[in-house]
Amino acid sequence: MTAYPPVPPGLVVDHDGPVLRIRLDRPERRNAITDDMVLALIDVLEAAGGDESVRVIAISGTGDHFCSGFDLALRDGEERPRVGSVQRRMRTHVNRLIPAMLETQTPIVTSVQGWAIGLGLHLALASDFAIVADDARLREPFTAFGFTPDSGGSWLLPRLVGVARAKELLLLAREISGARAAEWGLVHRAVPGKELEAASAELVDDLARSATVAVGLAKALVHRGLTAPLDAQLAEEAVAMEISSRSEDFREYRLARKEGRDPRFRGR
């Protein structure tokens, strides 16, 4: 069984059968993320990606808000660093977090209520499925604060909603609701707040029972296809087909079809 690294205060990790649950747990700071939390999230996601017992990762936040972004208040009072310190620190920090989410073949479901700002919003957007409360408040505040987007925001948004809407969010720092985000295709689905937990749980359960090998390979194909030429992508599809067609889940599908029943996938 995979040993998961210890996590700092503000982060709760629970391995529940086929589901790995990650919860941001700083409600007094609207679940703002600290340096230690970023590094722990990377370690946990990488460990989960190699854990064959985990078939889906579920991310949520404690209290009324999902995440208000990186906790900038922790930088107050620090001695002014030398020029270039930000980009040097980001290489081993937030710049590893979003790729860790995109590159793991384990599907990720994020449940969003209240505020999802900056890095918090990017956690949702880098998930495979973000389910948000229709009255959630999503915002990229960077230019309003006088600096520029980080943690993949300028990469994620244009790919999800197109350049024009990405500029509206990133350059004008406009806030949008969860309902509008779903209309734009920024997130998977928006539901009334009282239905958020149930809707997220239903999707997590579906993925926990899915053909995990095929789902993971399909996720990898989607992300690689964003930058690959067609001939290279067709070759990748052929390799994925070869692997998935030799999985136990594919054999179970064929047996279930022969026996006239629903398949019982084991994620192998």
User: Tell me: the pLDDT tens digits for 243-252?
Assistant: 999 999 999 9
pLDDT band at residue 33 using 50, 70 and 90 as cut-offs: very high
User: Same structural domain for residues 81 and 186?
Assistant: yes
pLDDT score recorded for residue 93 = 77
User: Same structural domain for residues 118 and 241?
Assistant: no
pLDDT score recorded for residue 80 = 62
User: Same structural domain for residues 43 and 176?
Assistant: yes
4 found inside a domain: no
pLDDT score recorded for residue 121 = 98
Distance in angstroms (rounded) separating the CA atoms of residues 103 and 9: 26
pLDDT score recorded for residue 227 = 93
Mean pLDDT of 144-160: 95
User: Same structural domain for residues 129 and 169?
Assistant: yes
User: Same structural domain for residues 102 and 196?
Assistant: yes
222 found inside a domain: yes
Supply the range of the domain harboring residue 157: 11-208
User: Same structural domain for residues 231 and 204?
Assistant: no
Write down the pTM of the prediction: 0.92
pLDDT band at residue 2 using 50, 70 and 90 as cut-offs: confident
158 found inside a domain: yes
pLDDT score recorded for residue 87 = 58
Distance in angstroms (rounded) separating the CA atoms of residues 182 and 173: 18
Give burial (CB, 10 Å; 0-12/13-18/19+) of 193.
middle
The CATH number for 33's domain is 3.90.226.10
pLDDT score recorded for residue 20 = 98
User: Same structural domain for residues 170 and 219?
Assistant: no
Distance in angstroms (rounded) separating the CA atoms of residues 9 and 57: 20
User: Same structural domain for residues 173 and 238?
Assistant: no
3 found inside a domain: no
Average pLDDT of the chain, as a whole number: 93
141 found inside a domain: yes
264 found inside a domain: no
Mean pLDDT of 199-216: 98
User: Tell me: the pLDDT tens digits for 213-235?
Assistant: 999 999 999 999 999 999 999 99
Say if CB 112 and CB 63 are below 8 A apart: no
pLDDT band at residue 88 using 50, 70 and 90 as cut-offs: low
pLDDT of 239 higher than 80:
yes
User: Same structural domain for residues 192 and 136?
Assistant: yes
pLDDT score recorded for residue 43 = 96
pLDDT score recorded for residue 78 = 57
Mean pLDDT of 53-73: 95
pLDDT of 110 higher than 90:
yes
Contacts of 105 (CB under 8 A, 6+ apart): 49, 215, 216, 217, 219, 220
pLDDT band at residue 79 using 50, 70 and 90 as cut-offs: low
CA 92 to chain centre: 19
20 found inside a domain: yes
pLDDT band at residue 72 using 50, 70 and 90 as cut-offs: confident
User: Same structural domain for residues 241 and 171?
Assistant: no
73 found inside a domain: yes
Give the rounded percent of residues in the chain with a pLDDT score beyond 70: 93
Q: Residue 106 CB: number of other CB atoms within 10 A?
A: 22
Mean pLDDT of 192-210: 98
User: Same structural domain for residues 155 and 250?
Assistant: no
Asked which of 188, 208, 228 is the last residue of a domain, the reply is 208
pLDDT of 5 higher than 70:
yes
pLDDT score recorded for residue 70 = 93
Domain count, the chain: 2
User: Same structural domain for residues 223 and 142?
Assistant: no
Angle at 135 between CA 130 and CA 139, to 5 degrees: 65
